[in-house]
C-alpha cells in the first residue's frame, strides 16, 4: 500500500489554543482525523506526525525518502529559514505538497517567504484544515499519475 507522511512543524501541537483568531479553533487531532479519512478514501496509508524539533523533522523527511513515501508538510516556523529541512526535502522522489493554515503571503515579515516552496510540487495556503484535504487529494492524483 502507498504511504503518505503528513509532517507538522513547531507549535502546531497548540492548534485550537494558540492564536485562534489566526489559526482557527480546530486542534491538530481534528486535522489528523480529517487526514486519516481522506487518505483512507484515496487508498493509501497515513502517518501523521508533529514535532517542535528541527532535527527530528529532518530525520522524518530522510525516512520518507528512504521509504519512497509521499509527504505533505506544514513546516510552520521552519518554513522561513531552515536550510537543513530544505536540504532534506530535496531527497524526496515522491510528491511533496506544502500546506499552511494561513495565507502566508498576507502575513507580515518574516512569514511571507517559505524556503520549502522552492522544492514542493505544490503549495496550499490560507484555507485552514481544508488545505490538508486538498494536499492529500493532490498526492493521490500524483501517485496515480494523473497530475504533473
Question: Residues with catalytic annotation?
Answer: 23, 100
- First CA to last CA distance, the chain: 21
Tell me the helix, strand and coil percentages in the chain, rounded to 5: 45, 20, 35
The helix/strand/coil state of 139 is helix
Q: Residue 68: is it exposed, middle or buried by C-beta count within 10 angstroms (0-12/13-18/19+)?
A: exposed
Amino acid at each position: 500500500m502507498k504511504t503518505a507522511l503528513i509532517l507538522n512543524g513547531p507549535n502546531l501541537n497548540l492548534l485550537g489554543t494558540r492564536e485562534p483568531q489566526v489559526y482557527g479553533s480546530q486542534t491538530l487531532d481534528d486535522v489528523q482525523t480529517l487526514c486519516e479519512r481522506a487518505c483512507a478514501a484515496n487508498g493509501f496509508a497515513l502517518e501523521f506526525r508533529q514535532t517542535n524539533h528541527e532535527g527530528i523533522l529532518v530525520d522524518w523527511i530522510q525516512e520518507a525518502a528512504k521509504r519512497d513515501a509521499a509527504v505533505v508538510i506544514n513546516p510552520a516556523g521552519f518554513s522561513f529559514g531552515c536550510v537543513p529541512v530544505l536540504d532534506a526535502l530535496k531527497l524526496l522522489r515522491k510528491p511533496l505538497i506544502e500546506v499552511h493554515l494561513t495565507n502566508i503571503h498576507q502575513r507580515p515579515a518574516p512569514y511571507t517567504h517559505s524556503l520549502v516552496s522552492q522544492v514542493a510540487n505544490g503549495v496550499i495556503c490560507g484555507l485552514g484544515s481544508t488545505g490538508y484535504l486538498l494536499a492529500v487529494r493532490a498526492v493521490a492524483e500524483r501517485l496515480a499519475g494523473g497530475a504533473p
